[in-house]
Structure 1
Amino acid sequence: MWNNCLLYDDWVSAVHLKGGWILSGCYDNTLHLWSAEGKHRLTIPGHTGPIKAVAWVTHDDTLATFVSVSHDQTAMLWEWNVSTNAVECIHVCRGHERGLECVGISRSESRMATGGFDTKLKIWSAAIHEASDEGGESVPKRLKTEHGKSQVRTPLMTLKGHKEVISAVNWTDSSEICTASWDHTLRLWDTEIGGIKSEIVGNKSFFDASWSPLNGTLITASADRHVRLYDPRSNEGSLVKSTFTSHTQWVQCVRWSTTDGHLFVSGSYDHLIKLWDSRSPKVPLFDLKGHEGKVLCCDWSEPELIVSGGSDNTLRIFHSNQRK
């Protein structure tokens, strides 16, 4: 595998690839848009704290929407006019009492979930222009703010239960969310009843988790250098189905392939991205080298590209051998 190296002014802490475009977030409070070939399209100011997670919501050739979450306690919903290369913040989502760490988009693209240092899971409308949600209920009142045309959006639901930072959120279906936390637990939530369905207790803080719709399982990143595979709905035997041991420092990020239910990547403070096959937990398929600092984020949303960001102020694009 070969890779491109894209330079930043600070730590690269969030990245998501979709439709040939890379969205990234940085510790200098800015967002960046790149082409998959490494051409810089935009630097986007707006947040007043480090960006910790980003996600594309909708995307086509002319118009795209995405969300960013930050330590400034807000999530921002943005609209990008691809043809004019102009970005506008449409909604500022307020409700968290401390910095945000993670965001997840429902598969219907109508909802998003956020978590962070206030230990609360919050559900929001992810629609940009709709006046009501998909169930016909009115969306909470939005007030004009000082951010130009952007408006304040409040959460549709707040779910409590975690004791420490929520580090990852994954929608497993239209009404179920799986969260990971520094409190050593994974939780399944039912957004229809507004409560916890089940809890899995681990032995270390979870820094990230990635759920695959291809196999129905969850991989997690932890402080003990291991990646673990869980079946959150299993009622038989150990919930930990496999343990992947090769990193030499904290594992900070994990992502399943979106086209192969056996392959995933992990990123660590040991400067390495590792590509794994879940059927071979003892040895990774590849070590993806290039970072000269801690790997803070990674993504594999497009089959041919693996992207990662780190404390070496770089975003790296690795070209994998996987095809659609």
Structure 2
Amino acid sequence: MSKQEQVQIRLTTKQPKYSVNDAPILVPSTLKRYGLSELVNNLLDLDTHVPFEFLIDGEILRTSIAKYLAERHLSTENIVVIEYMESMLPPQKLASFQHDDWISSVKGYANNYLTGSYDNNVRLWNDSGECVYTLTGHKDAVKAVDIGLNQDGFLTIFSAGMDRKAMVWQITGDEPNLLYECNGHSDGIQCLTVSKSLSHFATASNDSTIRIWSNSAPTEDEASANVAHTKKKKRVENAGQIKTSATLLEGHIGAVNDIAFNEDQPNILYSGGWDHSIRSWDIDQQVNTMTKNCEKVVLAVDYSNYSGLIATGHTDSDIRLWDPRSEDGVNVKLSLRGHQKWVSSVSWAPQSAYTLCSGSYDGTVRVWDIRSKGSVYTMEEGQEKMFAVDWCDGRILSGGESQMLSIFETGSLSLSQS
């Protein structure tokens, strides 16, 4: 029997509680993830087995050490530095909440789950699966929702839809109060996003424009201009004031499908649309500061302030990662492939530079680590199209044609935080 080839490795980690002596050790070159995980557990002498992931040169190891080195024409005689971190366990489905129609948008905050639906309603759910509030007022499909806690400690809910208006609600007692609605778009609103401080929010529309709204009551001039309009209504549901003043951002050709704020710089907004472009905007200066073009329609946009990257979903079933700091007009940093149909929604994991989730018309939700060549986990949800995903507080929310809000537990996310 030939002697098994060995290779020298040095184990390192960014998680101090799992650190071992980083002196080089000889191991069989045939070791894969599970063998390396056993090795680290033995070195740590842990009472309870902990699964680990391993990276070489920033890429997750999915083969044996020998195959990894051979594929990259690297010598087995050199010391291989291998970084390890605790694995993220597979997402576990916690619950499903039935709706009356397709779900177009989902958003989570603490133990609250917000949905927008094609039945024109916005619904707020609690952890027990109880629909706490149904917010009525939209006259067409609700395409976007968002939620947050204002400075007074009250939940504030934002919604926008194909009726061309956005609505802002506050929950202060037994019933939600409609604070105001925003009018100005000339076609249906596709998306809405709120700044981290809730001081302002943005809407984007099929009319090719983006509008920035301050989260405050309409001015006296706006209110006076709309008195006659309000009096003409025979019935006003939970009536609020009408807001018309907004900062207008123009540049896209065709519908703007999604937008996302830069949380570190709330005056910076990213957008993507049917014109195949991803754009960066300075909302204070009202200028388009960066445009990156690709060959396919942009359906979904999300920004990670941890990695500084924009993730976009497209009609060719790919997810693309972009660096807005790059001056190159194309410069796709990475493409993630695995979905079989349009990628309709993307969401970065909170406090993560590496992990995101996506929803697709192929009916699946996938979890990705950008250091791996493929998706890490796939949650099969059926054949119905998936329209929306949101990763919040250790949970992934999803919704679509199945008329079901699905909630998955994702655990500690140690893998993405390393």
TM-score by length of 2: 0.71
1:141 is aligned to 2:227: no
Query: Which protein is richer in strand relative to its size?
Result: 1
* Structure 2 Cα separation of the partners of residues 140 and 55 of structure 1: 27
Residue 231 of structure 1: aligned partner: 323
Q: Where does residue 399 of structure 2 map in the other structure? A: 309
> Cα RMSD (Å) of the superposition?
2.0
Equivalent pair of 1:7/1:315 in contact (CA under 8 Å): yes
Q: CA offsets per residue over residues 163-207 of structure 1, 9 Å max, x none?
A: 011111111122111111111001111112111111001111000
Q: Where in structure 2 are the equivalents of 1:242-253 lying within 5 Å?
A: 242-253=334-345
What is the aligned counterpart of 1:16 among 100, 103, 107? 107
The amino acid that maps onto 1:141 is E
Query: Structure 1 residues 205 and 74, CA, compared in 2 at 3 Å: closer, same or farther?
Result: same
Whether the aligned pair in 1 keeps the contact of 2:222 and 2:245 (CA below 8 Å) is no
Post-superposition Cα deviations, 1:246-279, rounded to whole Å, max 9, x if no partner, equal 0011110000011222110000011100000011
Moved over 6 A (4+): none
Deviation per residue, 1:66-118 (Å, 9 max, x gap): 1100000000011112xx33112111100000000011112221111110100
Counterpart residue number, 1:267: 359
CA distance in structure 2 between the aligned counterparts of 1:139 and 1:306, rounded to whole angstroms:
41
- 1:56 equivalent among 137, 140, 147: 147
Identity over aligned residues, as a percent? 29
Give the 3 Å change call, closer, same or farther, for CA 162–238 of structure 1 in structure 2.
closer
Distance 1:70 1:44 in 2: 13
Q: Secondary structure at the match of 1:141?
A: helix
Question: After superposition, what is the alpha-carbon deviation per residue over 1:3-34, rounded to whole angstroms, capped at 9, x for unaligned?
Answer: 31111111000111002101101000011110
2: CA distance between counterparts of 1:43 and 1:49?
A: 15
What one-letter code is carried by the residue in structure 2 that aligns with 1:67?
A: F
CA drift of 1:38 comes to: 2.3
The 8 Å contact of residues 140 and 154 in structure 1, kept in 2 or not, is answered as no
The answer as to 2:301 corresponding to 1:209 is yes
Classify 1:316/1:95 alpha carbon distance in 2 versus 1 (closer, same or farther; 3 Å).
Answer: same
Residue from 367, 377, 382 that aligns with 1:286: 377
- Do the aligned partners of 2:293 and 2:330 also contact (CA within 8 Å) in 1? no
The letter of the residue matching 2:411 is N
Which amino acid is the alignment partner of residue 402 of structure 2?
D
* Cα distance change, pair 216–244 in 1 and its aligned pair in 2 (3 A): same
Distance across 2 between alignment mates of 1:206 and 1:48:
27
Greater mean deviation of Cα atoms: 261-270 or 290-299? 290-299
Aligned residue pair count: 312
Instruction: Evaluate the alpha carbon distance shift between residue 238 and residue 71 of structure 1 in structure 2; reply closer, same or farther with a 3 A threshold.
Output: closer
Deviation at 1:140, TM superposition (A): 5.9
Between structures 1 and 2, the one with greater helix share:
2
Larger radius of gyration: 2
Following superposition, the deviation at residue 320 of structure 1 comes to 1.1
Q: 1:85 aligned to 174, 178, 187, which one?
A: 174
TM-score (norm 1): 0.91
| 1:61 CA displacement | 9.9
User: In the alignment, what sits opposite 2:275?
Assistant: 183
Uncovered stretches (5+) of structure 1, i.e. residues with no partner = 132-137
Classify 1:43/1:188 alpha carbon distance in 2 versus 1 (closer, same or farther; 3 Å).
same
Q: Deviations over 1:256-303 (max 9, x none)?
A: 0112221100000111000000111x211100123441000010022x
